[in-house]
Structure 1
């Protein structure tokens, strides 16, 4: 466990690379004067802003907005002769041919904002929870008694910072292509396609991205890809908001290209594509925050933050992101009668009846480190007593 905030010095804590650690007392002096509802709203907004900027996606959304103001009715992005018909039955597919005039300016803007938000807002979130409320971890932290060691805190920032360059570069390439009128399947007037596609594309984009992300993630949990790529991300057994971009560069590129692929696969209006992107990246921060955020009533598909925190704690289980139903359908949802650890692959765990006494003991201990307040009903969903273990083994 890391040293307390009172006993560690600025050079002992890797988070001292952020501005909030050094100025914690000064920030708290003004922060404490804010009404509670306002401070909570600011923290939520900060998470949202960090989520949409760290990968540089904001610049692509901005360019889509600019294009929407300049294109005439019926024009597909950069190509008014794309060949649409009102029956939505034929789409001619011109060559993509990336256009990159002005790339350097867009790339510098994308990277600058990404770094400012990563260290500025990331540092603020670290201060708001991990410094200011460290002594109240039982109230907000998914794993309140365990903390990411200082060396790994430093490591996730280094890796995450490097991946910001990659994310900004990919977003800048796509944004430059769009701004120069390069071809994609994005359109800007809802009237270009039938009304039913205006409605259906929202769940279509969301489900496509989320289901593909499930399989992408699950694929990187197979032995070879996990050991050579994804294991880097799983160094952080107690993830923080900085963990979200601390991924092997190869996997990072693969993931961002996959999330961007709808632009070139089927007709999508820029508004639902952008809104769903905002939602996805926002929850990426939430899921890695280590904080016991819960989904709202209007998000029945969305698992609580403890779902992905469990993934980091138990490794090969709970592969979904925004729809836990994929794990339930494919049998990779965490089960009470199974044990999980880094050497048990493929998401189904090990039947507790087949586990050794040591494996069972270690797993039961892990379960006690989860915060009951992170679960619905404020009760640990996967608690298991020795008596229950014996009943399972005898069954």
Structure 2
């Protein structure tokens, strides 16, 4: 991302440590920068990418599930423990944790939470410093909305909300990992020969498409007026999202998404390797898409939208509902269009025609479009930007009406 030099434009020696704010990092920018500047630029990019991956798998709480299945694959955890369907029903009062395949569940949850919070604050704080402190004075080079920043109050809000949701995610992840470790029912398998090489590779697009299409719809449903007002609106306080925004979501909605993602392991045979590779990929891009940074998909990811796609969703609210494939929005007509206006009051992803809006609405929309960074788009060109002739024609028509 260019020069290593950094000009701090905010912060100060008077700042105190506040775990629910990232501002305290700025106080230590000089010390961190001295250490960081000793690392080669290429090595720095690798570290930042790896840290993003760690944050991605930790915020879901599914990292422990990966460890459990690796243990089962290589014999560190007994694979002989299997689910047994009892012939006679038993009363809930008679069931033990062992009967429910949840023996030592407290330890699993504790470990899950401890590691997730450590990564969230530690690695998440590093990502914030790497871009939002170290490169703040060069925002036009890397930020999706370089002239706009969320307030310190909102930064603190997203970390408080994210911390609450992270506890729920980590608890669910710990319980599920414990359940699988103790031989609870699932369709996870470990020997490729059980279902053959064809299914081993075929399950990758099957699981991936299932995850992405179902999350597209659950996300879109949470944008319906009632659910948006009571649940999802919390997440849309952040018009300029950061990496911390990914968990800053209502715990009810987050639980819906997490359970939806894990569902395949209870529906059809999935090898743990491809399944958790997809889970890691999905959550990694969850961090990327909420980062506010102009990340672009690699050449080998023709299906993956750039980060600006979801940044547009936060900026314009009810549009671009997909995550790792934009095709669902194109099919269902919820993909952002140049000739439409999108605001928080216009629901269902269709927007409003430029010919239907008032002059003041047009001016507000023009300001929003100007705040987008063209460098965040393919070929460094924002195709949603209106030309001067188009703007003049629209304003002329508004003046006549």
Alignment TM-score > 0.5, same fold: yes
Q: CA deviation at 1:319?
A: 0.3
Residue by residue over 1:242-292, the C-alpha shift from the partner in whole angstroms, topping out at 9 and shown as x without a partner, is 000000111011111111111111111101111001100100000000000
What pairs up with 1:219-238 in 2 under 5 angstroms? 219-238=221-240
**Residue number in structure 2 paired with 1:65:** 70
The separation in 1 between residues aligned to 2:168 and 2:276, in whole angstroms, is 20
**Residue number in structure 2 paired with 1:43:** 48
Asked whether 1:335 is paired with 2:337, we answer yes
Q: CA deviation at 1:184?
A: 0.5
The separation in 2 between residues aligned to 1:13 and 1:112, in whole angstroms, is 19
The separation in 2 between residues aligned to 1:286 and 1:152, in whole angstroms, is 19
Asked whether 1:34 is paired with 2:34, we answer no
Asked whether 1:316 is paired with 2:318, we answer yes
- After superposition, the Cα gap between the structure-2 partners of 1:183 and 1:357, relative to the gap in structure 1 and judged at 3 Å, is same
The separation in 2 between residues aligned to 1:297 and 1:29, in whole angstroms, is 34
The separation in 1 between residues aligned to 2:224 and 2:391, in whole angstroms, is 29
1:241 pairs, out of 229, 240, 243, with: 243
- After superposition, the Cα gap between the structure-2 partners of 1:231 and 1:115, relative to the gap in structure 1 and judged at 3 Å, is same
1:105 pairs, out of 104, 107, 122, with: 107
SS in 1 for 2:148: coil
1:215 pairs, out of 214, 217, 222, with: 217
The separation in 1 between residues aligned to 2:10 and 2:156, in whole angstroms, is 16
Q: CA deviation at 1:357?
A: 1.2
**Residue number in structure 2 paired with 1:371:** 373
Q: CA deviation at 1:309?
A: 0.3
The separation in 2 between residues aligned to 1:263 and 1:14, in whole angstroms, is 36
Asked whether 1:259 is paired with 2:264, we answer no
2:180 pairs, out of 175, 178, 188, with: 178
Residue by residue over 1:134-161, the C-alpha shift from the partner in whole angstroms, topping out at 9 and shown as x without a partner, is 0000001000000001110000000000
Residue by residue over 1:165-200, the C-alpha shift from the partner in whole angstroms, topping out at 9 and shown as x without a partner, is 101110011101000001101111111113321121
Taking structure 2 as the reference length, the TM-score comes to 0.89
SS in 1 for 2:74: helix
- Root-mean-square deviation (Å): 2.3
**Residue number in structure 1 paired with 2:30:** 25
Asked whether 1:141 is paired with 2:114, we answer no
Q: CA deviation at 1:9?
A: 4.9
Q: Is the 8 A contact 2:22 2:128 kept in 1?
A: no
Q: Is the 8 A contact 1:14 1:153 kept in 2?
A: no
Q: How many residues are matched? A: 375
**Residue number in structure 2 paired with 1:84:** none
- After superposition, the Cα gap between the structure-2 partners of 1:18 and 1:100, relative to the gap in structure 1 and judged at 3 Å, is farther
- After superposition, the Cα gap between the structure-2 partners of 1:13 and 1:98, relative to the gap in structure 1 and judged at 3 Å, is closer
SS in 2 for 1:244: helix
SS in 2 for 1:70: coil
Q: CA deviation at 1:56?
A: 1.5
Taking structure 1 as the reference length, the TM-score comes to 0.90
The separation in 1 between residues aligned to 2:36 and 2:126, in whole angstroms, is 11
Asked whether 1:281 is paired with 2:286, we answer no
